[in-house]
Amino acid sequence: MIDVQEGSLQPHDRWMHGALEQARIAFDEGEVPVGATVVHDGRVIAEAHNLRESLNDPTAHAEMIAITQAAESLGSWRLTDCILYVTLEPCPMCAGAIVQARIPTVIYGTVDPKAGGCHSLFTITDDPRLNHRATVIGGVLQEQCKAILQEFFAIQRSLGKK
């Protein structure tokens, strides 16, 4: 965990740093560096990073894993008192899971112009046709969240991958 003195960062920054730590773990494992943290009553109940490559699972996004961990931690699929922090805007699959889990607040770092499910391409988390909506705030530690993705993909391109 990052050693941060209480009150030294804005509340969202503090939790986003945890998500960034998870993204760095993904980076080191050769996974697309996206990290997620779920907070409930002021404490972290789930942390995850992308594991698609490691698990050969297209659904192993950081958000999906963190949502599953949070539900296990609380003993309920309804995550109504939780905040999800994620370094990259959730994709449509993850946005759907956010709606299904009844997560009321999502905070993300940087937009995903090619696959964003909350603001960029789709607004799944705010669609009035669905039975739940989430407040979504983007741009928290945006430059750091964006930089780790850019660095990862620059390395991948130099290796002839992705």
Query: Hey, which residues are catalytic here?
Result: 63
Provide the pairing of β-strand 135-137 with 105-110. Answer: parallel
84 — phi, psi (to 5°)?
-100, 125
CA distance 140 to 77: 26
CA distance 7 to 11: 8
CA distance 124 to 126: 5
Yes or no: say if 65 and 53 are a contact pair by the CB < 8 Å rule: no
Which residues are within 8 A (CB) of 123 and not within 5 positions of it... i.e. 6 or more apart? none
